[in-house]
Structure 1
Amino acid sequence: MRKGLLLLVVFSFVATGCSWFGRGNPTPTPGPYPAPAAAPQPAPTGAVDLEQAVIAAVERTTPSVVSIGTDQGGLGSGIIVSEDGQILTNAHVVAGSRLLAVGLPDGRTFRGRVVAADGSVDLALVKIDAQGLPAAALGDSDQLKPGQFVIAIGNPLGYYRTVTFGVISATNRNVRAGPGGQGLENMIQTSAPINPGNSGGPLVNLRGEVVGVNTAAAIDPTLGEKAEGIAFAVPVNTAKQRLQQWARAAAGAPAAPAQPFLGVTLGETIDPFLARVYGIPTGVPVVSVVPGGPADQAGIRPGDIIVQADGRRVETAAELVEIIRSKRPGDKLEVRVWRRGQELTLTVTLGG
């Protein structure tokens, strides 16, 4: 049996007490069931419109969704992004595999090969020898809003081209794949159910445009079980950037300038309310540090709260990223962190 591939990200939840209705009281006798309606009631117009929009988006996108089987018994999903057989998927789907079997919706199977991969964003590009394939439409993930409807399509547990539905729960999430696992930044959080085998498949808006690459589901560490309604996707704009870089490299063009690299996974911003409750400063918490990376070498540690960078106050992860992107690899960046009641100033040499 093939094993579905999916990253699991760990979250901690606060348990709340609950009580049972009617504890110690006899179960009341149920009343009679109401008589069935003589004829089905028509669905509200808005519901019909939404249903048709979902169906249309699925029909537009499904022909571009493939299955990817690995020589290690894994099964994932992929997105056709060019007519000549380029397929976008997650790096963790194809990691360590030499032989890939790519299944198309029309029933054909091709041998695939990995032509590029970037574990820092968990994306990979697979190539098959085929022509005239239906490439998916790629949208703009920067325009996503919490509450927006989205659809996940993939091959969870071997159920090919399964469709699930949900909303954008949040954007710009920073998550970590398991204890000590890799950090993934700027992720899309969605309530659309994602299960093993969904990895690499598309997250789609109601226009049938791919807005994300389904990647990970959250688990509750206290129960060791997958948390329902909390899943994550790589933004499609991140994928488009990598596709452009890989295309330039394949064409022998000069590589795009390297981006500065700090080497940390950032947590959610500490707002003023939490800061007052716990007696800590507002800022950006460090969840994990890349071993041997720039931040690690400078002495930044997990649990630190970054409160200042380059002489500027830092309140959010976006502000810190903006400062880093204004630099070049090799530049020195002065970072001030809060650690166990003390503030420390550290100098980081940015990587690239």
Structure 2
Amino acid sequence: MKFFRTLISIVLVAVFASAAGSYATLKYLEYNNQLNQQPKEHIKIVNDGTTKSQNVYQAVAEKASPSVVGILSESVSQDNLFSVKHKVQGSGTGFVVDKRGYILTNSHVVSDGNAKSVRVILHDNKLVRGNVVWYDSTIDLAVVKVNTSGLVPAELGNSDDVRVGDIAIAIGNPLGTELLSSVTQGIISGLNRDVSTENSNMSDLMQTDASINPGNSGGPLLNQEGQVIGINTAKANADNLGFSIPINTAKIVAQRVIEDNNYKKPVLGVAGIDVKTYVTYTGNQLDVDNGVVIRRVENGAVADKAGIEVGDIIIKIGETDIKNMGSISKKMYTYTKGSKDKITIIRDGKKKELNIEFK
């Protein structure tokens, strides 16, 4: 079995944008009228250098920029050799998803919940304190809450409708606070990409050639209508090769976190390693290409009660194919107390279905 590992560098950014001029506003209204008057399938983007083509990007920036924020974090790092603690400053991007002050960003932007302080730079350059109310490092998403008014939520699109070749526009700050409100454009280069980072393996990402540089993490990836279709999360050590988390992955999470302040994700209760990594490190060939090899099952957990054992390979939960622990984590957000489903495993080379229930 061949195994390919993409070396991905994860980086942070701070973004806030200023309002565009009246000319861009008029052109945005003109473009918006076109959207309202024509069915979506009849809208054509002519990228031939004409004024009409350029106004698409202006319109998207005008619409989306007020929702984009900068995130500054401070965490404490300890030198393992001398046990010396020192402060680490970080910066990233986020965007407003609810006018009550909820902001979506990457988990690594807030040091996977370990940031000692978080500050948010709003669109009007106002600096306010933020509070991390939720994060999940396995899917690299986090929600930050600020207490302020006048926020403009971003319009969220449908990432299931995204196709290769669609226009993709990123808003972010590629160099900390040096180049604020940078807008880059390109296309969707690929879908359902799996990449490995230093901290985790991520699956089902969107690939884009829109410039995503050190500093864009957590920023929105937008379609031609100014709707968020992804959250920029990783950049490969290669030109024009960036990756974004599909917005549909984040929608369910954000909604449940916002509506339930005490929300807790259902837990399967397993620890494991994806098949590809397992084969690479052990040299042992398996009968499947994707899945999670179970290394530990928590006593009394959902998985334990379902009969899952160490050594089993989880390949599907419900109708969702499982590629890594991130896949399991994402699937858990679709369940609530009382949910029931089936889990498909490979045990001793044979496929088997087990029943799971979240009580």
Q: CA deviation at 1:111?
A: 1.0
For the pair 1:214 / 2:214, whether they are aligned, the reply is no
After the TM superposition, which residues 312-351 of structure 1 pair with which residues of structure 2 at under 5 Å, given as runs?
Answer: 333-336=343-346, 343=349
Contact 2:290 2:322 in 1 (8 A): no
Match of 2:191 among 135, 146, 171: 171
CA contact (8 A) 1:187 1:235 kept: yes
Asked if the contact 1:260/1:329 (under 8 Å) is kept, the reply is no
Q: How is 1:26-105 mapped onto 2 (pairs within 5 angstroms)?
A: 46-48=48-50, 49-71=52-74, 72-95=88-111, 96-105=114-123
> 2:105 is aligned with what amino acid?
T
2:175 to 130, 142, 157: 157
Higher mean C-alpha deviation, range 148-157 or range 257-266: 257-266
2:294–2:311: 8 Å Cα contact kept in structure 1?
A: no
1:229 CA displacement: 2.0
Contact 2:208 2:240 (8 Å CA) reproduced: yes
- Equivalences for residues 108-119 of structure 1 within 5 A: 108-119=126-137
* Contact map agreement 1:64 1:135 (CA 8 A) in 2: yes
Distance 1:84 1:245, change over 3 A: closer
1:73 aligned counterpart, secondary structure: strand
| Residue 298 of structure 1: aligned partner | 310
Residues 290, 205 of structure 1: CA spacing in aligned structure 2 closer, same or farther, 3 A cutoff? farther
CA distance in 2: counterparts of 1:260 and 1:287, whole angstroms: 13
User: 1:195 and 1:288 mapped to 2: Cα distance?
Assistant: 34
Separation in 2 of the partners of 1:241 and 1:190?
23
What is the DSSP-based 3-state SS (H/G/I as helix, E as strand, rest coil) of the residue aligned with 1:78? strand
Q: 2:311 is matched by which residue type in structure 1? A: G
Deviation, structure 1 residue 188: 1.4
Matched, 1:235 2:246: yes
Change (3 A) 1:332 1:130: closer
Which residue in the other structure is 1:285 paired with?
Answer: 290
Q: How much has 1:233 moved relative to structure 2?
A: 1.0
The answer for the alignment partner of 1:247 in structure 2 is: 258
CA contact (8 A) 1:101 1:109 kept: yes
Aligned partners of 1:239 and 1:309: how far apart in 2? 21
Asked if the contact 2:293/2:311 (under 8 Å) is kept, the reply is no
8 A contact 1:110–1:128 mirrored in 2: yes
C-alpha spacing 1:292/1:336, structure 2 compared with 1 (3 Å): closer
Instruction: Name the CA distance, whole Å, in 2 between partners of 1:138 and 1:98.
Output: 30
Change over 3 Å in CA distance of 1:266–1:45 after alignment to 2 = same
Tell me the residue number matched to 2:125.
107
Q: Which amino acid aligns with 1:76?
A: G
Query: What are the Cα deviations for residues 220-273 of structure 1, in whole angstroms up to 9, with x where unaligned?
Result: xxxxxx1222221111111110111112322x6xx69848687667689xxxxx
User: Post-superposition shift, 1:122?
Assistant: 1.2
Match of 1:40? none
Q: Does the aligned pair in 2 maintain the 1:176–1:184 contact within 8 Å?
A: yes
1:49-77 per-residue CA deviation (whole Å, 9 max, x = no partner) reads 33211111011111111111111301100
Report % sequence identity. 33
Deviation at 1:214, TM superposition (A): 0.5
Could you tell me which amino acid in structure 1 is paired with residue 227 of structure 2? E
| In structure 2, distance between residues paired with 1:257 and 1:198 | 28
Distance 1:176 1:292 in 2: 24
Tell me the C-alpha RMSD between the 2 structures: 4.1
Paired residue total: 277
Match of 1:132, SS state, is coil
Q: 2:239 is paired with a residue of what secondary structure? A: strand
